[in-house]
Amino acid sequence: MSEDRLSTYRGKRETAASGEPTGRRRRGHPNPIFVVQRHDASSLHFDVRLEVDGVLASWAVPKGPSLDPRDKRLAVQVEDHPLDYADFEGRIGAGYGEGTVIVWDTGTFDNVTERQGEPIALPDAIEAGHLKVVLHGEKLTGAFALTHIKMGGDPKNWILVKVDDDGADRRGRPTSTQNESVLTGRTNEDL
């Protein structure tokens, strides 16, 4: 099933030239992972990725995630990525996504999506257009919600919001003040 979900990813890339993972190897982790990658391509943005059914369901967030529950961040759903993309850092060569990528944050997460008090599996939550997860990262902690919206008539548009909990910070601006990789300490400029 994850192979079919990666056909769009593979169709957009020449992985031998771009240096991006092929998706042939699977990661082994007992808990689902998330990763937020800082991608300096044609425009700087953050890619939020959640492990779902053997792939990374992905959203491009132009302004990056916010710790302030008042902020609503556009999150554009993009193609699923392979699990081995979670630790990818480097320079993507000419073509689709050209630019530099670092792992801005990573960790595990818990799916806490419910409907009428009943838990909803992530694939069903994505299909329904609303999910809520609790992130256990180095820069991002606590609950975040992703909700599908009809903005601009584009079916890929979602909104990412920080839930008002212990991880919320109305003054914190980690996407502008903490630009280094949690894996290597490098910045996009270092690449």
> What pTM does this model have?
0.89
- Are the CB atoms for 95 and 28 separated by under 8 Å? no
The mean per-residue pLDDT over the stretch 163-184 comes to: 93
Q: Is 176 helix (H, G, I), strand (E, B) or coil?
A: helix
Q: What is the pLDDT of residues 62-89, one digit of tens each?
A: 999 999 999 999 999 999 999 988 999 9
Residue 100 lies in a domain: yes
CA atoms of 73 and 62, how far apart (whole Å): 8
Query: What dihedral do alpha carbons 137, 10, 121, 130 form, nearest 10°?
Result: 80
Residue 140 lies in a domain: yes
Residue 185 lies in a domain: no
Structural domain span for residue 30: 2-177
CA atoms of 75 and 161, how far apart (whole Å): 10
- The total number of structural domains in the chain stands at 1
- Are the CB atoms for 133 and 57 separated by under 8 Å? no
Give me the amino acid identity at 7.
S
* Mean pLDDT estimate for the chain: 89
pLDDT band, very low/low/confident/very high, at 150 (cuts 50, 70, 90): confident
First to last CA, the chain: 34
CA atoms of 177 and 133, how far apart (whole Å): 24
Residue 188 lies in a domain: no
Residue 186 lies in a domain: no
Residue 191 lies in a domain: no
| pLDDT at 132 (0 to 100) | 98
